[in-house]
Amino acid sequence: METNVKAGSTENKAKKSRFSSQLWFIWLCLLPVIVLVLTFTYYPVVRGITLAFQDYNLMHVKNVKFIGFDNFKTIFHDNQFILALKNSLKWVFYSLIAQFILGFILALVLNKPFKGRGIYQGLVFYSWALSGFLIGLIFKWLYNSQIGVINDLLLRAGIIKTRIGFLSDPHWAMFSVISANVWYGIAFFAIMLLAALQSIPGELFEAADIDGAGWLRKLFNVIIPYIMPTIITTTLLRVIWIFSDPTLIYSMTNGGPAGLTNIVSSFMLSKVFGNGEYGLGSAVGIVMMIMLMLYTIFYLFATKSEKAGDF
């Protein structure tokens, strides 16, 4: 009896030893990932929050000090920031509406079988593979008042008599950057909505045909309700991306003329890289993060969708 107890005790110790060694091995494998995540994700977040409450300027690095909420007071009393905030709302609203409508139409077209559909899909999706900065440079050349293709085509067609400075004229600048953003984002909605359309069971359309439903009735009673989770999720993501991505504006106008095309994210870049005001830039970043968090909570609550993460 005593021998059996000792044997059982020895076996338990061996199991615990093996489990302990396996646990250490697992942690050893996870250690590089943990270090990378802490270094490149959480440390920048913590550092950015800290900078938002400091007077940190590259011109006065030795005089860094905590100033509380002074950076936030400064930006909310800055007319350029208020203008950038208004521009951001226009930038997101008009870009999103146009991107979604055109992307949805394109997805409906590409969902129909026709000769060469794969080639057309590749051409449509190609734009999404390009960087926003590169697309901004392309449109900057297209809108150039002297050698731009758009001015040349409008002159040849007799629509205009003199060249238009699309990116320098206050009346055209915001429209020009929004149109470039619309072109850039159509592909995203086309890709995601096309995938959702292709997942609709054919039986639903057969039942609709039996009921004598027309195309519009199928659209509003079959297609849109079925792909609504995808619409909710893609719209949520696209708003966040449009609001926080300054690359198009940065490469096309750099916020000009006179800050009329600045959005909040490009305004933040101008503070950080233009003036070296890391404290003010970080404060703008915190404001952006809070705005996006509030938007996400409100949006998910307003849509009341339990399947917002389904595609």
Q: What is the mean pLDDT of residues 208-223?
A: 87
Calpha distance 70→60 (Å, rounded): 17
> Inter-axis angle of helices 132-142 and 173-197, to 10 degrees?
130
**105-146, pLDDT tens digit by residue?**
999 999 888 887 778 888 888 888 888 899 999 999 999 988
Chain mean position to CA 272: 21
What phi, psi does 176 have (nearest 5°)? -65, -45
Residues 111/124, Cβ–Cβ less than 8 Å: no
Among 61-70, 129-138, 173-182, top mean pLDDT goes to 173-182
Between 291 and 306, name the one with better pLDDT.
Answer: 291
- pLDDT for residue 254 is more than 50: yes
Between 100 and 256, name the one with better pLDDT.
Answer: 100
Q: What is the mean pLDDT of residues 40-68?
A: 85
16-25, 157-166, 204-213, 267-276: segment of lowest average pLDDT: 16-25
**6-26, pLDDT tens digit by residue?**
555 665 666 666 666 777 878
Q: What is the mean pLDDT of residues 47-76?
A: 87
Residues 221/204, Cβ–Cβ less than 8 Å: no
Calpha distance 79→28 (Å, rounded): 52
- pLDDT for residue 247 is more than 60: yes
- pLDDT for residue 3 is more than 60: no
- pLDDT for residue 273 is more than 90: no
Give the pLDDT confidence score for residue 235 in this predicted structure. Answer: 94
Q: Return the closest-CA partner of residue 248 out of 170, 173, 202, 184.
A: 184
Give the pLDDT confidence score for residue 5 in this predicted structure. Answer: 47
**257-268, pLDDT tens digit by residue?**
988 999 999 999
Q: What is the mean pLDDT of residues 230-243?
A: 94
Mean residue pLDDT of the chain comes to: 87
